[in-house]
Amino acid sequence: MLLRDLTKVYISEYEKIEDHGEPDKVWKYKGQAWLNMQNDVNELDRKSTGEIDYSTYKARTTKEYDIKKGDGISFDDISKVEKFKPQYKVTDKNKIGSTYVYICEKVQE
């Protein structure tokens, strides 16, 4: 992959904590990666109403990063932020040949 096609993203993971008996998710900065982020739109990505879903990204890379299903991905620098919510969440990880493909969906507020 060409360097000009890569986007610097910030990876985070969540930790479940109990706050006075209430379960809560706390996101923590994990690292950064250079991924080829693409809005691949095809017939399978259409909703049942026929509209196209632009909230899904496919991130591709040939380098193996420590990104797991359920991790968060942000385009903004979150390395120094204490409380944050990632912009996208990794919903699937596939390996096709030498390329890793991460499916990322927008995190609902």
Residue 2, amino acid: L
- Burial label for 58, CB within 10 Å (0-12, 13-18, 19+), is middle
Q: How far apart are CA 92 and CA 43, in angstroms?
A: 19
- Provide the CA 80 distance to its chain's centre, in angstroms: 19
Question: Which residue, 15, 6, 27, 8, is CA-closest to 86?
Answer: 27
Domain ranges of the chain: 3-106
In this predicted model, what pLDDT tens digit does every residue of 78-109 receive, in sequence order? 988 889 999 999 999 999 999 999 999 999 86
Structure tokens at 12: 């985070």
Please write the tens of the pLDDT for every residue from 18-27. 878 788 889 9
Q: 3-106: which CATH number, 2.40.10.270, 3.40.47.10, 3.40.50.2300, 3.40.50.300?
A: 2.40.10.270
pTM of the model: 0.81
